Amino acid sequence: MYSVNYHRATSVADAAKLVKSGDAKLLSGGMTLIPAMKTRLAAPSDLVDLSRIKELQGVKVSGKTVTIGAATTHYDVANDEKLKKACPALAHMASLIGDPAVRHRGTIGGSIANNDPAADYPAALLALGATIVTNKREIGADKFFKGLFETALKDGEIITAVSFSAPAKAAYEKFRNPASRYAIVGVFVAKGKDGVSVAVTGAGDDGVFRSKEIEAALVKNFAASALDGVKVPAKNLMTDIHASAEYRANLIAVMAKRAVAAANV
């Protein structure tokens, strides 16, 4: 790792000031950034640690509205009792990220800022129609995720929270790579007052996306059987050493079916 200067921010305002120095980067759980610095894929001059800022921590549920602070760990999301009632699908999804030690440190803000094409949270937030709140503005999930490792965030902009309205039904199904355990295909389905939305991670050439074919079938009938015979096109899906685009296309339909079945339980 190259030399770096560490700063521990005490508030979002403090972090916003500190992140202006040199080629600084925000540090949250460090589960992506520190490994990247070790291999010198990232070499910030300064790190601004957000993980001790109280105002960025925790899950709030008020009526149907769920708000999750950016520095809330995957472990805390997975185990939050209020969230398990309001949106059990999201708590379950968080329990499937990486391993226990990764979940103890990795955070929702870091995960969505990084926007790994195989990360789990982007699928959930896109399907839930979530709003990403920063220290500058609010951004809809559909405008926030912009392709592989790209987001609408400007330099130094800090995610403070995400919020969404709890859906009537939702579920997440993940087909894992047997070695890395990241999603080869992950499908989050949500049925709310604005209809049905189905978001796919791990598969798109351009990152997370909504599957129109699956949504069209489910709008008519929110049942696993409604997906019998539904074909997802392989166009714009990833082909890599783990799976071909055609295999991923088939997996999307299979995972969507399982997710709908789980959401209907």
Partner 1 sequence: MSDLSLMVNGKRVSGTAEDRTLLVHFLRENLGLTGTHVGCDTSQCGACVVHVDGKAVKSCSMLAVQASGSSVVTIEGLANGADLHPVQAAFKEHHGLQCGFCTPGMIMTATDMIARHPEGLDEATVRAELEGNICRCTGYHNIVKAILAASKTMAKGVKGKAKQAA
Ligand X SMILES: Cc1cc2nc3c(=O)[nH]c(=O)nc-3n(C[C@H](O)[C@H](O)[C@H](O)COP(=O)(O)OP(=O)(O)OC[C@H]3O[C@@H](n4cnc5c(N)ncnc54)[C@H](O)[C@@H]3O)c2cc1C
Under the binding rule (CB under 6 A), the answer on residue 156 touching ligand X is: no
Q: 3-state DSSP call for residue 238?
A: coil
Q: Is 30 in the site for ligand X (CB under 6 A)?
A: yes
Segment near ligand X (CB under 6 A); pick from 20-28, 139-147, 191-199, 240-248: 20-28
Least distance (Å) between residue 121 CB and ligand X: 6
- Contact between 262 and ligand X by CB under 6 A: the answer reads no
Tell me the CB-side half-sphere exposure of residue 197, using CA atoms within 13 A.
20
Least CB distance to ligand X at residue 35 (A)? 6
Q: What is the contact surface with partner 1 in residues (CB under 8 A)?
A: 1-6, 27, 30-31, 34-35, 37-39, 47, 49, 51, 75, 98-102, 104-105, 180-181
Q: Tokens 């790190």 map to which residue?
A: 47
Cα torsion 257, 258, 262, 265: sign: positive
User: With contact defined as beta carbons under 8 Å apart, do 220 and 198 qualify?
Assistant: no
The partner in contact with residue 119, picked from partner 1, ligand X, none with C-beta cut-offs of 5 to 8 angstroms by kind, is ligand X
Regarding 50 and contact with ligand X (CB under 6 A), the answer is yes
Q: Does 120 bind ligand X (CB under 6 A)?
A: yes
Cβ atoms of 194 and 64 closer than 8 Å: no
Check binding of 90 to ligand X (CB under 6 A).
Answer: no
Interface region with ligand X, contact rule CB under 6 A, candidates 19-27, 59-67, 138-146, 203-211: 19-27
How many other β-carbons are positioned within 10 Å of the β-carbon of residue 11? 13
Binding window for ligand X (CB under 6 A); candidates: 57-65, 117-125, 224-232, 257-265: 117-125
Q: Are 71 and 46 in contact (CB under 8 A)?
A: no
111 binds, among ligand X, partner 1, none (CB under 5 to 8 A by kind): ligand X
Instruction: Identify which of residues 145 and 227 has a Cβ nearer to ligand X in the complex.
Output: 145
Q: Outline where the chain has alpha helix (H).
A: 12-18, 33-38, 74-78, 81-86, 88-95, 100-105, 108-114, 121-127, 141-144, 212-220, 245-263
Smallest distance, partner 1 to C-beta of residue 31, A: 6
Using the structure block, give the residue that is written with the tokens 């610095």.
Answer: 37
| 181 sits near ligand X (criterion: CB under 6 A) | yes
Minimum distance, C-beta of residue 99 to partner 1, in the bound complex (Å) = 3
231 binds, among partner 1, ligand X, none (CB under 5 to 8 A by kind): none
Interface with ligand X includes 199 (CB under 6 A)? no
Please enumerate in sequence order all residues whose Cβ is within 8 A of that of 31, keeping only pairs 6 or more positions apart, or say none.
98, 102, 105, 106, 110
Beta bridge partner(s), residue 69:
161
CA dist list (Å): 241 to 148, 170, 184, 244? 18, 31, 11, 8
Asked if residues 189 and 170 have their Cβ atoms less than 8 Å apart, the reply is yes
Query: Which residues are at the interface with ligand X (CB under 6 A)?
Result: 25-33, 35, 50, 70, 97-98, 102, 106-107, 109-111, 113-114, 116, 119-121, 153, 158-159, 181-182
